[in-house]
Structures are given as structure tokens and as C-alpha cells.
Amino acid sequence: MRKKILLTDIILKSYIPIFKIFFSVDTLWNKKKIIYSDYEALVVSGVFKIPQQFYEKLSNLKIISVFGVGFDNVNLNECKKNNILVANTPRVLTRDVADLALTLLLSISRNLFNAQKYVISKNWEKKGPMQLTDSVYNKKIGIVGLGKIGKEFAKKVKVFSTEICYFGPSKKNINYKYFNNLKKMAKFVDYLVITCPGGPKTNNLISAEIFKEMKKSAYLINVSRGNVIDEEAMLKCLKNKTIKGAALDVYNNEPKINQKFRKLNNVILHPHHGSGTYETRKLIAELSCNNIQNYFKTGKPLHKVNL
């Protein structure tokens, strides 16, 4: 008899056939009545906040397979208490997220969003050339969290003859400038790029104190998690132009972002879509499915993050 699994959010809809090859699949978005005790595996996207009642009612749940890398939406304490394994899908999305970080960096530097508006509004015809923008060449790049995504991004941005710096818990065996003090790195660099994991340990890591250290000409890029940045402090800086701009893929309270963002012209807003390519999402779905398969065959998922 096939194991029953529950897919929680509609972002997973296109990948149901991948899971149906091996499992009996139900979906939360169109299942009128959920018999929680039926399911031994749960598949969640990285942005689906698992309700507390799930941990209480899914009495036979053995594994949560996260469709993505970040798992700060999963209560690991509840999982430990209930002996639930958690798995994620690292590596397969590294290149696409790093690509997006570079895209955001280039876009905010060259003011692409306002450039398009300048053409559409006919200001180019009326006023002539728009204001000059910033070159990325020979700039100082500060990466917060030099993990897989951070390293991939560093390789890409190095092409622009940049000086790569990084902040993290420990120095790595890599030929980039290491800072063990985030304030000092924020003061030194032209771009602060956030690629570290989310969760309690990095909550509000980019605080008002860090923003105070940044150059007035500096830019902030975030492809990590919204909670890593003190959002109100960032909004204040952008409004007062104490930093030059920001390009963001992630926010607090997604998808209902802070309305203050809409009033700014020095920020690029992207809808948490770093891994959002056809090719990568298919790979994520396959790995998410393989994690569950491997667990039921061997007792271990391919990529375990707890227990």
C-alpha cells in the first residue's frame, strides 16, 4: 500500500505528478476534509508557515520535506518532541539564487527600474538622457554568509574586478577578505549582500546599528530571508537616503509586504523567486520527493536538517 503524503501550498501544484509516481498524494488547497492521521509525510514550500495544529494533529507524521533550502518555517522543537525528521533540498537552487543576487545588484546599480519608467513616461523625449548610474567594476562587495549561495555569487561578481569580503562565524580557507565584525565590513564595502540562512540566530542581524555604518553611496541586496534585516530601520534609511538603494527578493510578512516600500524609488522589489526557474523548480521537486522515498526505504532522507 502506498504511503499517503500531504502537499500544503499551491506553489507545489505543478509537481504533483512527480510525487504521484511513488505516493498517494493529497493537497491542502483542495481537500475539503483533512484526516490528519492518514499522512506520514508532509511537503511544504519554504514560505508555508506550518500551523501549530499540524504538529498536534498529524499523529503519524514521520517526515517533513521542505521544497527549498530554508526551513525557518518549520518548528524544529515541535519536530524533535514528536520525532519528526526534516529534510530540505540544498545545492539544486544555488546557481539560480546566486544569479538573481547578481541580477539585483546590477539592476539597482544601473537603476533599471527607474530607467524603464523614464522611457515609458516619455521623459527621455522631453528631458533628454537620464541621470548617470553606478558601475560595479572595482567595487568592494561584502557577503553576509559565505555558504554555497554566497560562494557561487562571489565567483560571479568577481568577474567585475571586485574586491570580495565576507562576514560569518568563522574564517574559511578561501582567498577573500574576512571580517569577524559586521559593523566594520558594512563600513568598508560598497555593496552588502545577504546570503546567510534565516531563523532565530540571524534575526535582525542587519540592524539599525549596521545601517549607521554603511556608506551613503552603498547598496543592500537580500536573497536570504526577510527577518535577517530590521525592515523598519532599512525603510528609514531608504526614505532618508542614508544608503543609496536596496534590491530585495525577501521580506517580513510575505506576500503582504510593508506598504512603505511602494512609496520608494530607490528600491527594487522581487517576489521571493530566487529559485523560480522551470529547470530548478523541477529539480527541487524531484529532490524533495527523493528525500521522502529515501526515508521510507532506509530510514534517512538524502538531506536531513534535524535529529
Please give the positions annotated as active site.
225, 254, 272
Distances in whole angstroms, Cα of residue 183 to Cα of each of 81, 144, 176, 180, 188 = 38, 11, 17, 9, 9
Q: Nearest to residue 251, comparing CAs of 275, 276, 263, 268? A: 268
**Strand-pair category, 245-248 with 4-7:** unpaired
CA angle 284, 19, 278 (to 5 degrees): 35
Q: Are 2 and 11 in contact (CB under 8 A)?
A: no
**Dist CA 6 CA 129 (whole Å):** 55
Rounded distance between C-alpha atoms, residue 155 and residue 162, angstroms? 10
Bridge partners (DSSP) listed for residue 64: 42, 86
> Which residue, chain included where needed, has cell 522611457?
119
H/E run at residue 279: helix 278-298
Pull the grid cell for residue 177. Answer: 577578505
- Enumerate the β-bridge partners of residue 304: 87
